[in-house]
Each structure stands twice: as structure tokens, then as C-alpha cells.
Amino acid sequence: MTLLKDPMVVNALAEVVGANSLDVVGELAEEESIDEFSLAERLGMDVKVVRKILYKLYDSSLVKFKRFKDQETGWYIYMWSFENHKLKHLVEKVRRNKIVAVRTQLDKETEHQFFMCESGCTRVPFELAMSVGFICPHCSYKMDFKDNSHIIKQLEGQLKEIERTFGQ
């Protein structure tokens, strides 16, 4: 399945639907439509687990279903299909969220000076460190200024990396 060879797709699916959705997606994407019992059988998974994954995929608009009534049993059969074209939106959404999260953290790191206690259990901005008299409220050790330029550099690198791969 070529779509599951794209690490961005695998990443987004694992993050939004869960890592256990990958096999189900791989199998679903092979078929025009398939019912959950056949899916469970093929994957050697519990049908309840498969169903849960299908609902999660449905929540993210990644699958649609058609319902038929089994004339013999009177039960409903659900035929599921994978919405391949929706994957792109999911990948972009996950990426956008990541960019926002890294930017927020980067802003916080550049706008504040950070202080850390000697035992390393607490790291807070200057204002907070001052409010506790530069004594760690958890371990009672002194809090000192801690250079955060390496953290800023790391976050900037992360941001560049995500933006570089955007829209590929």
C-alpha cells in the first residue's frame, strides 16, 4: 500500500486515529468497500476492535459506509470505504497543529529568561522564580539563570523541518 509508505501519512494516522489503525487502513484502502467482519478476519483482529477503529476513522471523515439489510438474518451489514482524498487534509491539519505548538513554545522561550533549581526539578520564567525568592518550591534548592539558547535553536530547527516538508 503506497499511501502507508509516506511517513507523514503514517504519522498523522497514528496521532489522530491511533497506531492500531494502520493495518485497518492498509486493508480498507485495497478494497472499494468491505464489511467489518471480513476486515477483522483478514487482519486476525477482534471485530469489536476493528469497529472501534472504523468509528474513529469515521470521526476524522476518513471512511464512509453504506448500510444493507441482510434478508436472511434481518441484521444490518455495513460496507466501509476508505476516503483516500481526505488523507491530505488530515496530514495538513496535524502539521499545522504541530507548527502552532512549536511556535508557541518558541515564543515563550525567546520572550522569557528561565531559571532552574540546582537539582533540575523545576524550570520557570524569571517572574515566577522571583515570586518564590529564587528557591525551588519543590526541592528547596536555589534557582539560577539557565541559558536557553540551545533550546531556542532546537525549536527553530524543528520549525524549519516541519515547514520544509509542508505541502509535499
- For residue 125, the minimal CB distance to Zn ion (Å) is 15
Alpha-carbon gap, residue 73 to 80, rounded angstroms: 20
Residue 121 in the binding site for Zn ion (CB under 5 A): yes
Residue 135 in the binding site for Zn ion (CB under 5 A): no
Per CB under 5 A, the segment of 9-17, 35-43, 95-103, 118-126 that binds Zn ion is 118-126
Q: Tell me the three cell numbers of residue 23.
A: 493495518
Residues 6+ apart with CB under 8 A from 105: 155
Alpha-carbon gap, residue 105 to 72, rounded angstroms: 59
Q: Are 133 and 142 in contact (CB under 8 A)?
A: no
Residue 136 in the binding site for Zn ion (CB under 5 A): yes
Nearer to Zn ion, 65 or 134 (CB): 134
Residue 33 in the binding site for Zn ion (CB under 5 A): no
Give the CB-side neighbour count of residue 30, counting CA atoms within 13 A: 12
- For residue 64, the minimal CB distance to Zn ion (Å) is 53
Query: Which residue's entry shows cell 518564590?
Result: 132
Among 9, 53, 117, 129, binds Zn ion (CB under 5 A): 117
Among 69, 103, 138, 153, binds Zn ion (CB under 5 A): 138
- For residue 143, the minimal CB distance to Zn ion (Å) is 8
Q: What is the torsional sign of CA 14, 15, 18, 21?
A: negative
Among 81, 122, 154, 158, binds Zn ion (CB under 5 A): 122
The residues binding Zn ion (CB under 5 A) are 117, 119, 121-122, 136, 138-139
